[in-house]
Amino acid sequence: MEIRLENLTKVFTDKSGNQTRAVDQLTITIPSGKLVGLLGPSGCGKSTTLFMIAGLHPVTEGKIFFGEDDVTRLAPEKRGIGLVFQNYALYPHMTIRQNIMFPLENLNIKRQEAEKLVVEMAELVGIRDQLDKKPSQLSGGQQQRVAIARALVKKPRVLLLDEPLSNLDARLRLQTREEIKRIQRETGITTIFVTHDQEEAMSISDQMVVLNFGMQQQMDEPQVMYNKPDNIFVAKFLGNPPINIIEGEIKKGKIVLSDGTVLADTKIKDGKYDLGIRPEDFKVDDQGFVVDTTHIDHTGRDTMIRFMIGDKPLRALVESESVEGKKTIKLMVKAHKVHVFDKETGLVLS
Ligand code: ATP
């Protein structure tokens, strides 16, 4: 089921009349059967967007479509959504079986049929042998799988996950995110996954939407967005270690740094720009520029070189072999890897 948001806007007004534009004119199409990560810093409007799609927040302006259905004003329980939150919200006094079965009560489904659905869901999420336990007897990751099974038991049209891995430790987080990906693929259910963790979003999403101040910054496949960010915000938000941002100038078809270092050729017109270079887009090369190295960290296969250009510290991540035995290090930027951003708008020019 495709989800379409058209100019979706949410304005909160507090008691003194102050307004917050939590979501601002968001227009996106989430393709049927895909897992889309909704990503951005704290307060950028991710949860508010999800809550409007779920029907838990009335929208201020704009529309929400599930396929051809305009669901903008439809009650949450009529939308056909499954919701999973960060705190699994299982009923502690019920068994896992009862928890998963709970949404089916009052639905006029025969007991036998309901039991079958519960087992089917438990198998899907890999907790078939835990059905008679209580939530407290399960690990956090298992509890979150139960929450997913419970969200899916009514066969919703759309699955909405709000920071589902935040309460898990690092190891379980990795495991559970792989599980979520598998469950989503197996069921083919259109899924929106809210997270502030760029690495998590990159690893799990078919496509990502990056928000800032309630506004869409970019929607693309993770690798496309990483390699071709539309603006400086997206460039900085994705990547760890983060992209180097440095002031530069374009003079007669050359990208030049403040100390005169020429980085690359370009067709962009002369002027001052912000330049972005990812650490891994440098390489050691005898034709390169000598760097004023401040620190070298060997971390096995890769080496992190910290160096200065003027008073600006930068990082280069290069293959360890390429620096072995070298007294002076010369770096070059790989072809087409300098991102040039407009200083006023932050939009990318190349
Ligand atoms: P986080 O990652 O911290 O959960 P988020 O991206 O999910 O952040 P939202 O919770 O959607 O962000 O909040 C977006 C903006 O709207 C924030 O400025 C927040 O303070 C504001 N906001 C959210 N809910 C309400 C509310 N019920 N009343 C007033 N303002 C709200």
Q: Of all atoms in ligand 1, which is nearest to the CA of residue 23?
A: 14
Q: Of all atoms in ligand 1, which is nearest to the CA of residue 47?
A: 7
Residue 143 DSSP symbol: H
Distance CA 91, CA 183 (A): 23
Superfamily of domain 3-237: P-loop containing nucleotide triphosphate hydrolases (3.40.50.300)
Ranges in the chain annotated CATH 2.40.50.140: 244-341
Distance CA 53, CA 3 (A): 9
pLDDT at 210 over 90: yes
Residue 94 CB neighbours (<10 A): 14
ipTM over 0.85: yes
Whole-number pLDDT of residue 169: 86
Residue 226 CB neighbours (<10 A): 18
Q: Of all atoms in ligand 1, which is nearest to the CA of residue 214?
A: 14
Helices (H), 104-210: 111-125, 140-152, 170-187, 198-204
Residue 80 CB neighbours (<10 A): 16
Q: Cis ω on the peptide bond leading into residue 92 (within 30° of 0)?
A: no
Cα torsion angle, 119, 122, 128, 131, sign? negative
Closest protein CA for atom 20 of ligand 1 = 43
Ranges in the chain annotated CATH 3.40.50.300: 3-237
Q: What is the rounded average pLDDT for all residues in the chain?
A: 93
Q: Of all atoms in ligand 1, which is nearest to the CA of residue 162?
A: 7
Q: Is 10 in the pocket of ligand 1 (CB under 6 A)?
A: no
- Is 102 in a helix, a strand, or coil? helix
Which CATH number applies to 244-341? 2.40.50.140
Q: Is 166 in the pocket of ligand 1 (CB under 6 A)?
A: no
Whole-number pLDDT of residue 90: 92
Distance CA 211, CA 126 (A): 33
Residue whose CB lies within 8 A of the most ligand 1 atoms, among 38, 47, 216, for a mutation test: 47
Residue 200 Cα to ligand 1 middle (Å): 21
Residue 48 Cα to ligand 1 middle (Å): 6
pLDDT single digits (tens) 118-137: 999 999 999 999 999 999 99
Q: Which amino acid is at 68?
A: E
Closest protein CA for atom 15 of ligand 1 = 22
217 neighbors 208 (Cβ within 8 angstroms) = no
Confidence of residue 109 (pLDDT cuts 50, 70, 90): confident
146 neighbors 88 (Cβ within 8 angstroms) = yes
Q: Is 164 in the pocket of ligand 1 (CB under 6 A)?
A: no
The pTM (predicted TM-score) of the whole model is 0.91
Residue 74 DSSP symbol: S
